[in-house]
Amino acid sequence: MIEFLRNVLNLYRDRSEFFIRLTMEHIYLSFVAIVFIAVIGITIGITIAKYRRLAEPVLSVVNFIYTIPSIALFGILVAITGIGNRSALIALVVYGMLPMIRNTYVAISEIDDLIIESAIGMGTTGKQLLLRIQLPLALPVIIAGFRIMVVMTIALGGIASFIGAGGLGVAIWRGITTSFPEMTVAGSLLVALLAIVVDLVLGILEKIARKKVLGTVKS
Amino acid sequence: MNVLTFTDVSKSYDNQVRVIDRLSFSIEKGEFITLIGPSGCGKTTLLKMINGLIPFDEGVISVKDRSLADWDLIKLRREIGYVIQQIGLFPHMTIEKNIGYVLSLLGRDLGEQKEKAKELIKLVGLDADYLTRYPRELSGGQKQRVGVARALAADPDIILMDEPFGAVDDITRKVLQDEMKALHKKLQKTIVFVTHDIEEAIKLGTRIVLMDRGRIIQAGTKEEMLFAPTTEFTKRFLGSKSFNAYLGQLPIEDVYRPYEATVTKIPQDNETINLTDTAMEGIRKMIKEDLQSLVVINEEDKAVGEFQLQDIQQKIQL
């Protein structure tokens, strides 16, 4: 066991350039996917919170997509958009939608009606309501959704290499195909490390937002 | 001058029963209107029609001599103060931001918002220290005061209040009512105040509007409502509680008989009562001491007149 871990560490040292490149690729791929998911997901979430009739059908579709096994989805996408980063990106974006849309929707629709009513009663326009009242109040829950989505995307990014995308999945995939378990573990550990670090940072952000919304206690 | 007029206003949900039924009424500048009635009578609906939160089907509502249809609703709402129960404060904003909210919507600069918040928090009887706090750090009564301050920020002529003191304890409510009454006297705003508490309605309103099933059953001064009810419903709804409330808010100042000339000496063996005390207080003293009359004294302890039970009678003779 110790021997194995030492081999993994040696691998990091010997092939540091290779791992740094893969990590950067992985961050880049995840980052692009996360930006897409956040923008599209929050927009859809806000839209269905405003037009409640749309909420159920939209959430059902997103839920359904979420239940498709990732390997199956990759297979389908390869047939449509081919092999490479583009297919991987589409798959990541599609999967990440659920937590983002659902949390945005729930966060906005659970704001107390009386708060909304008093805001409107004082002459708040629709845009002001969204920017000054709804989004700030929904922020902690939206960030919580964002956090889940980011961790999920980074993890799922590891599988994206199966359809020819870059990232740490390349190391995992290579380890598997060449019976080189150290390589697989080395790649996996980096994926996990990346996810944990990002999760910790976002956790702090969420805490700050929560404190801000719930009101800080003056010392 | 009428600041608010309702002309044949009707409203129904899904073409069913009318929640507001061909209602006509007008409110003059500076009035403190209390809207009361059993739940479901349409009082809150009527209030929310004034600032366009609830649309109506027929008739005309005019605010400051302009039909609601001709108003830009956003602009109108910024010119009308709106107070609901404490929960209506924005939890993510400090008290200062809450009070300055309408000013911020109007695009006034930060300095003015801060200045106004400081001025208003004092007006509603809170320390300026509270400005940097958040609503959750305040008690129910304090939140309610902030709610009133927030409604006053843009200096509106009209203030709408929807059961604002419903969620605070009895003692705090009494204090808030006294403050609200004093504030109305001082600022002379037109206030429309919805309540289901008959004592509150009697205590605060310069005119009381009793509603049932979307119609106004009777509207009038406290005296008219109590001593000249036009319907059995008014009589029943107001009950004996309201008579207590009436005596409990009636200042001696309004009913006593002043001396013809200035009398400087106080009759030694007579009990006295202050101008600012209530008739209820006077009656209790008379019963307790077995007296027919009390000497009324002013803030400087000078005797200025006399108070007897008959004086109340004269006040309520309509």
Could you report the predicted ipTM of this complex, rounded to two decimals?
0.82
Q: Does A142 touch chain B (CB under 8 A)?
A: no
Full domain range(s) for residue B273 = 252-316
Angstrom distance (rounded) from CA B78 to CA B97: 16
The string of pLDDT tens digits covering residues B215-236 is: 999 999 998 998 888 999 998 8
Same domain, B140 and B286: no
Decide if A218 and B82 are in contact by the 8 Å CB cutoff: no
Same domain, B64 and B21: yes
Angstrom distance (rounded) from CA A113 to CA A85: 44
Same domain, B107 and B204: yes
The string of pLDDT tens digits covering residues B235-280 is: 888 887 788 888 888 888 888 888 876 655 555 556 888 888 888 8
Tell me the average pLDDT across A184-197: 94
Quote the pLDDT of residue A145.
94
Both tokens of A70, joined, read 């990732």
CA angle B8, B10, B16 (to 5 degrees): 150
pLDDT at B317 over 60: yes
Q: Which of B224, B249, B274 is the last residue of a domain?
A: B249
Quote the pLDDT of residue A219.
33
When divided into structural domains, chain B yields a total of: 2
CATH of the domain at B119: 3.40.50.300
Out of B76, B79, B87, the one facing A115 most closely (by C-beta) is B87
Instruction: Provide, rounded to the nearest whole percent, the portion of chain A with pLDDT above 90.
Output: 64
Angstrom distance (rounded) from CA B77 to CA B153: 13
DSSP state for residue A162 in the 8-state scheme: G
Angstrom distance (rounded) from CA B307 to CA B294: 5
Quote the pLDDT of residue B267.
58
Q: Cα distance from B72 to chain A (closest Cα, Å)?
A: 10
Q: Which of B208, B232, B249 is the last residue of a domain?
A: B249
Q: Cα distance from A46 to chain B (closest Cα, Å)?
A: 19
Same domain, B79 and B157: yes
CATH of the domain at B310: 3.10.580.10
The string of pLDDT tens digits covering residues B119-138 is: 999 999 899 999 999 998 99
Same domain, B181 and B292: no
C-alpha distances out from residue B160 to A94, B25, B84, Å? 48, 16, 9
Quote the pLDDT of residue A216.
52
Residues of chain B found within 8 Å of residue A137, distances taken between Cβ atoms:
90-92
Report which of B57, B42, B67, B47 is spatially closest to residue B9, judged by C-alpha positions: B57
Same domain, B75 and B205: yes
Instruction: Provide, rounded to the nearest whole percent, the portion of chain B with pLDDT above 70.
Output: 96
Residues of chain B found within 8 Å of residue A114, distances taken between Cβ atoms:
84-85, 87-88
Interface with chain A: mutation pick from B75, B90, B148, B192, highest number of A CBs within 10 Å: B90
Tell me the average pLDDT across A49-67: 93
Quote the pLDDT of residue B13.
84
Out of A112, A123, A137, the one facing B87 most closely (by C-beta) is A112
Decide if A213 and B74 are in contact by the 8 Å CB cutoff: no
The string of pLDDT tens digits covering residues A77-90 is: 888 888 888 888 99
Same domain, B86 and B159: yes
| pLDDT tier at B313, thresholds 50, 70, 90 | confident
SS3 state at A210: helix
Same domain, B64 and B168: yes
pTM for this model (two decimals): 0.83
Q: Cα distance from B88 to chain A (closest Cα, Å)?
A: 5
Decide if B105 and A217 are in contact by the 8 Å CB cutoff: no
Same domain, B10 and B120: yes
CA angle A18, A23, A26 (to 5 degrees): 125
> Phi/psi at A182 (nearest 5 deg)?
-55, -40
The string of pLDDT tens digits covering residues B33-59 is: 999 999 889 999 999 999 999 999 999
Same domain, B67 and B44: yes
Q: Does A213 touch chain B (CB under 8 A)?
A: yes
pLDDT at A116 over 70: yes
Q: Cα distance from B182 to chain A (closest Cα, Å)?
A: 24
Which chain A residue has the Cα nearest residue B53?
Answer: A121
Residues of chain B found within 8 Å of residue A112, distances taken between Cβ atoms:
87
Same domain, B174 and B146: yes
Angstrom distance (rounded) from CA A143 to CA A45: 13
**Residue with more model confidence, B180 or B271:** B180
Residues of chain B found within 8 Å of residue A136, distances taken between Cβ atoms:
92
Interface with chain A: mutation pick from B76, B92, B144, B162, highest number of A CBs within 10 Å: B92
Quote the pLDDT of residue B262.
61
pLDDT at B10 over 50: yes
Residues of chain A found within 8 Å of residue B53, distances taken between Cβ atoms:
117, 120-121
Angstrom distance (rounded) from CA A9 to CA A22: 16
Same domain, B173 and B263: no
Angstrom distance (rounded) from CA B151 to CA B159: 7
Name the residue with tokens 């997103």.
A62
Q: Which of B225, B249, B273 is the last residue of a domain?
A: B249
Decide if B88 and A215 are in contact by the 8 Å CB cutoff: no
Quote the pLDDT of residue B268.
58
